[in-house]
Chain A
Amino acid sequence: MKKIHMSYEKKKGLYGYGFIALWFIGTLVFFISPVIQSIIFSFNEVKVEEGELAQTFVGWAKYQYAFGTDPNYRQYLVEMLQNTALKTPVILIFSLFVAIVINQNFRGRTFARAVFFLPVIIATGPVYAIITGDMSTNGSNEAAQFSTMFETDMVDQLLEFVGIYGFNDKFTEILTTLTADILNLVWNCGIQILIFLSALQNVSTSAKEAAMMEGATAWEFFWKITLPCVSPMILACLIYTIIDTFIDPTNKVMTLIVAKQTQWDFGLMSAMAWAYFAIVLVALGIIFLIIRNWIYYEVE
C-alpha cells in the first residue's frame, strides 16, 4: 500500500467508522428503512393483495381519520397522557423512597433488593398477562372476573395487613384506588429503584458526616443533601419511566395500534403510531427542558 499521509486523529476517526460499520448496515436494513417505509404507509391507503401491498397516496387523510373519526384514538391518547402524568410522579417518589429504605443497613437487605428487581426479569409478555389475569380465555369474558377478584383480594389483604378496617369513606376510597394499583406500581419500579440506589450510594460520606455533626435531622438531611445529590438521576428515571410506559405494549393506545395491525389497516396503524410517537417526543422534550434547570450538578 502506498503511504498516504494521514493525521493520527483522522486515522482514529476511520477506525471509528470501522467499529460502527456493522451496526450501520444493520440499522439501514432493519431500522431506518422500516421506519421510512412505515412513515410512507401512514400517508397511504394500504391494501393487502396477492404477493404485495397496494398503496394509494391519500395525504393526511389517515391522520385526520385517527384524530377526527376514530371512536377511540383521541380518548385513549388523552387517557394515556393523563395516566402517565399521574403515575410517573408516584413511581418516582415511591422508588426513591424504597431506594432510601433499602440503602440502609439491615438484615435481609440483599434479599429485599433481589425481590424488588425480580419483576424486571419476569414481568413481561404472557407471564404478566396471566399474573394480572388479562389472558383472553377464548372469547369468554369471565377471565376479567378473575382479574378483579385478584385486585380485591390484594386490597383486603393489604388493608388488613396495615390494620385499617374503615376510616372515613373518602380516605378508604383513595386508599383503595392506590392499593388497587399497588401491584402495578411495585412491579414497574425495579429499574428506577436500582438507579436511585446507585445514586444514593454515591452521596459523599463527608457531606453525611458534616450533616450529622451539625445535628441535622433525617428530614433535613433528605431535603438538603440526598435530594440534590440524586437529582440528575431523577431526570434519568423520569425519562426512563415515560419511555417505559410509552412503549409498554399493554397500554391502551398501543393495544389499539396493534389491533389496527391485526385488522390489516397498516396505513391507519402507522399514522396512529407516528402521531403518538410525535406527541410523546414533544412531551419528553418539554419535561426535559423544564426539569433541567432544577438539577444540581456537582462541580467537577
Chain B
Amino acid sequence: MADMVNTSGASAVLGKFKKKPKIKEPKMTRKERNERFKKRLENLTPEEQAYLKRKRALEGVWPVVRAILVFSLCFIILYPLIFMVSTAFRPRAEMNDPTIMWIPKTFITSNITDCIKAMDFWNTLGNTLKLNIGCALLSVVTCAITGYGFARFKFKGKGILFGIVILMILVPAQIINIPQFLYFRYWDIFGIIEAIKGEPVNLINSPWTMYLPALTANGIRAGLFIFLFRQSFRGLPKELEDAAYLDGCSPLRTFVQIMVPNAASVFLTVFLFAIVWYWNDYYVSTTFFTDNTTIALALKNLNDSLRLTIFGNGNVSVSPRELIVWLEAGCLISIAPILVLYVVLQKYFTEGIAHSGLTGM
C-alpha cells in the first residue's frame, strides 16, 4: 500500500513539474504593493499584524538566501567539472602560471588527442559499449524476472532467499573476489568440460566473466536491481494480474504482456543505472581483465600509458602538476559519453529512484 501511495504521489508532483502553470499577476509597483499591505493591516489585531509583517519579511529575504545557497552548492558540485574543462584545454606549461585561474591563455586540443591515443580510445570505447550494453540488458531482464518472482508469489523459503538478495547488496565485491577469480580461472560445469577437453577452461580476460554473472542476475549491483524491481512490481495494482489469470493467462505471459509494459519506466531506470555502474566499474574488471579493455581500466592506467605513448619512456619524470592536464583530459573524454546520456535522459535517472526503489522500504 505504501508503495502505491508513494508512486502516485511522486508521479503527480513530477507531472506538475513538467508543465509549470503560469499565474500572471497584474504588475504593481513597489509603492502600490506597500499601500495594499498597509490597508490590509489596518483592521487587524497587533498580533496578526506582527505575524503578517514577519511573514512578509521572510518571503522577501528567503528567495535571496535560497538563490545564494543553491548557487554556491551547485558551484561546489560542478567545481571539479569546471576545473576539468579548464585544465583539459590548456598547455602543460600554463599549469604553473599563477595568473591563470580558469581561462587558459592559449587554447589547445592536443591533450585530448594525446589521451585518445594513449587510451586507444575508440577501440576501448567500442569494447566498453559492447560489454556495457550487453551486461546491462542481461542484468535488467534477469533481475526483473527475479524481482517479479519475489514481489508476487508466495513460496517456501522466500524470506531466506530474499535475505540472500539483501546480503548481495551488503557484501562488498572485494570480499568474494578471489574465490570468484578462481572459479573463472578454472571454469567448469560439474566436471563436464574437463571430461571433454581434458582441462577446465580459463575464462580470465574473456568477456564471459562479465556476461555469465549478468546472465544469472548476479552482475554488478544485481542485488540492488532485484530489490528495485521487487519494490516497483509490488507497487502495481494486483487486479491487473488477477484479471489476466481469470482470462487464462499463464504467469509468464502475464509478466511479459501485462507487468512489463506497466513498469516500463523502472526498466529504463535500471538499465541506465546498470550502464553507468558497468561503465564506472573498475574493481571487478581489474580482477578479471588484465589488459586495458574498458574505459575505466584505461583511465586507471592512463598514468603509465601516457608516459609510454607521449614521452616514449615509462620512467620519464613529469611534474605531477603538469601531468594533471592530461589526466583531466582523459577524465573528460571518459565521462563525456555518460555525461551526455545523463543530460539527455536526466529525468529517467532521478524519476526512477524517486518512483520505485528505496522509497517503499
Contacts and interface: CB of A to CB of B under 8 A. Distances in A.
Interface of A: 9, 12-20, 22-27, 29-35, 37-38, 41, 53, 98, 101-102, 104, 106, 108, 110-119, 121-122, 124-127, 129-131, 135-138, 140, 142-143, 145-146, 154, 158, 161-162, 182-183, 186-187, 191, 194-195, 197-199, 201-202, 215, 217-218, 232-233, 235-236, 239-240, 243, 246-247, 249, 254, 257-258, 261, 266, 269-270, 273-274, 277, 281, 300
A198 B6 contact: yes
Nearest to A115: B74
A158 B73 CA distance: 10
Nearest to A249: B283
Interface residues of B, number: 105
Nearest to B300: A126
A158 B319 CA distance: 28
Contacts of B215: 22, 26
Contact of B183 (A15, A29, A115, A246): A29
B79 A118 contact: no
B228 to A, nearest CB: 12
Contacts of A145: 320
**Closest 3 A-B residue pairs measured CB to CB?**
A26-B216, A16-B153, A19-B149
13 contacts: A16-B154, A17-B149, A22-B217, A23-B218, A26-B215, A26-B218, A31-B168, A37-B182, A121-B338, A126-B331, A138-B304, A187-B77, A300-B2
Interface string B169-183: 111101111111011
A137 to B, nearest CB: 5
Contact of A34 (B63, B176, B324): B176
A108 B320 CA distance: 38
B142 A23 contact: yes
Contacts of A24: 161
Nearest to A235: B361
B73 A98 contact: yes
Contact of A116 (B75, B77, B213, B226): B77
A51 B213 CA distance: 24
B141 to A, nearest CB: 10
B179 A38 contact: yes
Contact of B164 (A31, A199, A240, A249): A31
Interface in B177-205: 177-180, 182-183
Nearest to B339: A122
